[in-house]
Amino acid sequence: MGRWEPDARSRLERAALELFLAHGFDDVTVPQITARAGLTTRTFHRHFIDKREVLFSDADQMPALAARLVLDAPPELAPLDVVAQGLSTLASAAFEGRLQQLKQRTTVIDGHDGLRERELRKMERLTRAIADAFEQRGVDDLTAAVMAETTVGVVKVALRRWLRSDGEQPLQTIMTDSLTRLRDAFSGTGSPSTSASQPAGQTVDKRPAPRVDRS
**Which chain residues interact with a copy of itself by CB under 8 A?**
73, 75-80, 82, 113, 116-117, 120-121, 124, 134, 137-140, 142-143, 145-147, 149-150, 152-154, 156-157, 161, 174, 177-178, 181-196, 198, 200, 203-205, 207, 210-212
CB of 204 to a copy of itself, least distance (A): 6
Distance CA 15, CA 3 (A): 20
Length reported for the chain: 215
Distance CA 169, CA 94 (A): 16
- What distances in angstroms separate CA 130 from CA 136, 152, 210, one per listed residue? 10, 9, 27
Q: Quick one: 46 or 118, whose CB is closer to a copy of itself?
A: 118
Q: Quick one: 68 or 181, whose CB is closer to a copy of itself?
A: 181
In 3D space, the residue among 104, 156, 98, 99 whose CA is nearest the CA of residue 126 turns out to be 156
Q: Quick one: 35 or 204, whose CB is closer to a copy of itself?
A: 204
SS3 38: coil
Q: Quick one: 100 or 191, whose CB is closer to a copy of itself?
A: 191
Q: Quick one: 42 or 160, whose CB is closer to a copy of itself?
A: 160
CB of 24 to a copy of itself, least distance (A): 19
CB of 51 to a copy of itself, least distance (A): 20
CB of 158 to a copy of itself, least distance (A): 9
Query: What's the CA angle centered on 41, arms 39 and 43, to 5 degrees?
Result: 65
Instruction: Note whether 10 and 37 are within 8 A (CB).
Output: no
CB of 115 to a copy of itself, least distance (A): 11
Distance CA 91, CA 167 (A): 12
CB of 73 to a copy of itself, least distance (A): 8
What burial letters (b/e) apply to 162-198, b meaning 16+ CB within 10 Å?
bbeeebeeebbebbbebbeebeeeeeeebebeeeeee
Q: Quick one: 108 or 152, whose CB is closer to a copy of itself?
A: 152
